[in-house]
Amino acid sequence: MDLQKNKLGFGQRPALILVDMINGFTDPACPLGAECESVVVHNQQLLAAFRAKGLPVFFTTVVFHNESQARVFRDKINALDVLTPGSHWVKIDSRLTPLENEAVIEKQWASSFFKTDLAQQLIAAQADSIVVTGLTTSGCVRATVVDGLQHNFRVVVAEEAVGDRNQDAHKANLFDMNAKYADVTGCADIISQLHKI
């Protein structure tokens, strides 16, 4: 028996969170990276739409400042060790360069909320909901979506603006998130709804 799932959408002041759209994940030359041109293009479209409405925008990156930070996570995935301060891999992809007033939040774990001040910054920006994009669907995107819900924000996942190295994992996680934690919505629909705010 299927549970009833309500579509909540976003509120009057959604914030856009671009999760780990950094060179380390968007450049296949990095051991963590994969080809994701379409994901970048859809992020560009959403970024332009949010900026045009003057809505809050947040970027995240992953940076490890010492050997002890997130040690278990890095022991599980050794390639994470390339994400060091000042390296090319931790910089936001230049096709999505943040503006001066857009925060870039450093994190060490999967969720954009865990041991960061993202929740406080969202509250300060008077955001009433979040639209989540980025990489990867089964990893940092999903962790951010779950924690967004747990911080009592309505969460929308921009379907074409998230991606994963594994398409089966991508599809399964979109299905799960839509079932339990968020509304998975096409980018065109999100942009259309933004025009109505």
In a domain, 9, yes or no: no
Residue 119 to residue 49: CA distance in whole angstroms: 22
**Catalytic residue numbers, as ranges:** 140
In a domain, 3, yes or no: no
In a domain, 1, yes or no: no
Interacting residues of 145 by C-beta distance below 8 A, sequence separation 6+: 132, 155, 157, 177, 181, 182
Place of tokens 């980018």: 187
Interacting residues of 9 by C-beta distance below 8 A, sequence separation 6+: 129, 154, 156, 183, 185, 193
CATH number at residue 161: 3.40.50.850
The number of distinct structural domains making up the chain is 1
What tens digit of pLDDT does each residue of 95-113 get? 999 999 999 999 999 999 9
In a domain, 77, yes or no: yes
In a domain, 4, yes or no: no
Q: By percentage, how much of the chain surpasses pLDDT 70? A: 98
What tens digit of pLDDT does each residue of 60-89 get? 999 999 999 999 999 999 999 999 999 999
In a domain, 119, yes or no: yes
Domain of 52, in residue numbers: 14-195
In a domain, 8, yes or no: no
Closest-CA residue to 93 (of 64, 56, 135, 52): 135
